[in-house]
Each structure stands twice: as structure tokens, then as C-alpha cells.
């Protein structure tokens, strides 16, 4: 069952088309990446998805039904611009957001405490939000998003501003949630960050979808024409006629082959001149595929 379906959604502000005839489908149990550079139309798309703004044309369906506000009780949204009531105590804040989502105060409190323990912030619950670090506040916002156990979790730039330890902690929580059957939608311009997490993606630029589908399928469409290698000795093999571009960082080389270039030939030449420790034919990253698709013309 598709959990999110956008059909030909368009939104214009003044004369600028923020989202241009965008269609996408997110199936149940998926981690989905809505990717694109800054200003591509990601936030505008999400706002229409959850009824903050209304599309000029096109249709939004959530949980296989046309959008209606009542369905928002099954959606959790973490916006890019984090917002909490600064003067409120953390626990009061959690209870307030829980109640807004239809929970009783007692249930909100119970779930808030559970989550706080899981995310290692149980000791700050009695503090005012403004007294906490940015990372802590982000964790609280994260809990506010998940408190009502939503089936669809939308996260706009979820890892921005987090240190690697906390980013990993949140990643693990999200993987857990996915394993429980929740749908998670990431929106980010840091494509490398979510590439390994997402099952499917939609790449957008200037409000239009430029690439969509399962990550594996998209990548398999693109040739493995890049080599990462580590070696010691003569580097003259990097001038091979098979190679389009090569960067050598004192024994660590990143090589791009010419179209239909022969990797085996490069390996052979390298082995004849130098001692090879590592030779890996890598697939292009989503970011590289994106840049190749839009022809390097990214409005960032």
C-alpha cells in the first residue's frame, strides 16, 4: 500500500515555480530520500504533503486516502528549522506536544520518559529548553516528532548540527523504526548522508523530479567507471590511455575511466610498475549521478 502519493503536484510563489508537476510514491516499510540541492523545492513539497500549504494543482494522498487533516495524527514531522518553546520545561514541552497529537497527559509523560531514556537525556527533563545545548534540543524535537508513534515520519535535514555520536544514535533509532514497519521520509541536500540508509529516492532540482526509484536500480543503471587504489612505486600507469582523469594523493589514487575504459588493463599496467595494495572498482555516488543527470547545472 502506498503511504504517500503525490500526483502532478505544483506550487508557485509569485512567478517562481517552487514545485513543478511533481509525482512520487512511497511504499509502506520504506526509507525514502527526497534529495536535491538547496532551494530545489524539498521543503515546499513536504509542506504540501502535510497540509501546511495547499498545492495549486495536483493531488496529495496519505495512507491511500485523499489528504485530510485528521490523518495528521499518523504523521510525525521534524522540520528543517527546529522550533521549541524556549521558556518551557522539557517535560512540559513533551506533554504539550503529546496532547496536541491526541495523547492523554499521563500517556505523553510516560512515552516522553521512555524516549528520553533511550536518547540519553532523561536528566534534563526538568530543565528549561533554553538552558540546553543545540544537540540536546534537537533530540527533544526528535522525541516530539515520534511521541505519538506515527506511521509516517518526515524528517527535513535530520542530522544537521548533530555530532557524529548523536547522529549515529538517531540513525539507529530510525533503522529500528523502519524495522517496525514505519515509513521514513528524509529530505536533505547532503545526499551522501542518507544514501546508505534509503531504499528509494527521488532527486529533485528546480521543483522537478530528475531521478526516482530504488537506490540499487538507479546505481545499477550507471557504469562502474571509477577506481580507488592504493599502491607504492612508479605512478606512470596513471597516464594510461584508458584513464580520463586521475588524482594521486601519495599512493592513494582516485581514477575515472574513459567511457567503456578497461579496468583490467589499468590493473595490469599498475601491477607491472608498482606494488598494488588495493584496487576497487566503485559505483558512482548518488551525488555524482545527480550532477551527471542535471549536467552539472545545479541551482544551489
The answer to whether 100 contacts another protein (rule: CB under 8 A) is: yes
* x-marked contacts with another protein along 75-94 as a string, rule CB under 8 A: x-x-x-xxxxxxxx------
Binding footprint of another protein, residue count (CB under 8 A): 26
Give the residue with the Cβ less far from another protein, 2 or 51: 51
Residues numbered 141 to 160 that lie near another protein (CB under 8 A) are 141, 144
The answer to whether 40 contacts another protein (rule: CB under 8 A) is: no
Residues with Cβ within 8 Å of 66's Cβ and at least 6 positions away in sequence, in order, are 59, 60
Closest CA to 250 of 272, 283, 274: 274
For the bound state, the minimum distance from the C-beta of residue 83 to another protein, rounded and expressed in Å, comes to: 3
Cα distance from N-terminal residue to C-terminal residue, the chain: 34
Closest CA to 26 of 152, 142, 148, 150: 152
CB burial string 138-153: b at 16+ within 10 A, e below: bbbbbbbbbbbebbbb
Distance CA 45, CA 230 (A): 43
* Cell 514531522 sits on residue: 77
**Cell numbers standing for residue 30:** 520504506
The answer to whether 69 contacts another protein (rule: CB under 8 A) is: yes
Q: What is the DSSP letter of 89?
A: B
The answer to whether 38 contacts another protein (rule: CB under 8 A) is: no
For the bound state, the minimum distance from the C-beta of residue 98 to another protein, rounded and expressed in Å, comes to: 10
The answer to whether 227 contacts another protein (rule: CB under 8 A) is: no
Q: Which of 7, 28, 61, 96 binds another protein (CB under 8 A)?
A: 96
The answer to whether 63 contacts another protein (rule: CB under 8 A) is: no
The answer to whether 202 contacts another protein (rule: CB under 8 A) is: no
Chain centroid offset of residue 62 CA: 20
Judge whether 15 and 164 are in contact, CB under 8 Å.
Answer: no
For the bound state, the minimum distance from the C-beta of residue 188 to another protein, rounded and expressed in Å, comes to: 16
The answer to whether 53 contacts another protein (rule: CB under 8 A) is: yes
The answer to whether 101 contacts another protein (rule: CB under 8 A) is: yes
The answer to whether 186 contacts another protein (rule: CB under 8 A) is: no
Residues that bind another protein (CB under 8 A): 14, 47, 50-53, 69, 72, 75, 77, 79, 81-88, 96-97, 99-101, 141, 144
Amino acid at each position: 500500500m502506498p503511504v504517500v502519493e503525490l500526483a502532478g503536484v505544483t506550487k508557485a510563489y509569485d512567478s517562481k515555480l517552487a514545485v513543478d508537476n511533481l509525482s512520487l510514491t512511497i511504499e509502506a516499510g520504506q526509507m525514502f530520500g527526497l534529495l536535491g540541492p538547496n532551494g530545489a523545492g524539498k521543503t515546499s513539497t513536504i509542506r504540501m504533503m502535510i497540509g501546511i500549504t495547499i498545492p495549486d494543482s495536483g493531488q496529495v494522498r496519505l495512507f491511500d486516502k485523499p489528504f485530510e487533516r485528521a490523518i495528521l495524527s499518523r504523521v510525525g514531522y521534524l522540520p528543517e528549522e527546529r522550533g521549541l518553546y524556549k521558556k518551557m520545561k522539557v517535560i512540559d514541552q513533551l506533554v504539550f506536544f503529546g496532547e496536541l497529537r491526541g495523547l492523554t497527559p499521563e500517556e505523553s509523560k510516560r512515552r516522553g520518559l521512555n524516549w528520553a531514556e533511550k536518547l540519553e537525556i532523561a536528566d534534563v527533563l526538568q530543565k528549561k529548553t533554553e538552558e540546553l545545548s543545540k544537540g540536546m534540543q534537537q533530540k527533544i524535537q526528535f522525541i516530539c516528532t515520534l511521541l505519538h508513534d506515527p506511521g509516517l515520519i518526515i524528517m527535513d535535514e535530520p542530522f544537521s548540527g548533530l555530532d557524529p555520536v548523536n547522529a549515529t544514535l538517531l540513525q539507529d533509532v530510525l533503522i529500528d523504526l523502519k524495522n517496525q514497519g514505519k515509513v521514513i521520509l528524509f529530505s536533505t541536500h547532503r545526499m551522501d548522508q542518507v544514501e546508505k540508509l534509503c531504499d528509494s529516492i527521488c532527486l529533485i532540482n528546480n521543483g522537478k523530479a530528475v531521478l526516482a526509484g530504488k537506490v540499487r536500480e538507479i546505481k545499477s543503471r550507471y557504469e562502474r567507471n571509477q577506481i580507488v587504489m592504493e599502491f607504492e612505486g612508479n605512478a606512470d600507469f596513471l597516464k594510461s590511455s584508458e584513464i580520463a582523469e586521475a588524482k594521486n594523493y601519495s599512493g592513494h589514487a582516485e581514477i575515472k575511466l574513459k567511457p567503456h575504459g578497461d579496468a583490467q588493463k589499468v590493473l595490469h599496467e599498475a601491477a607491472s610498475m608498482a606494488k598494488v595494495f588495493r584496487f576497487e572498482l566503485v559505483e558512482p555516488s548518488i551525488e555524482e549521478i545527480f550532477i551527471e543527470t542535471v549536467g552539472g547545472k545545479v541551482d544551489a
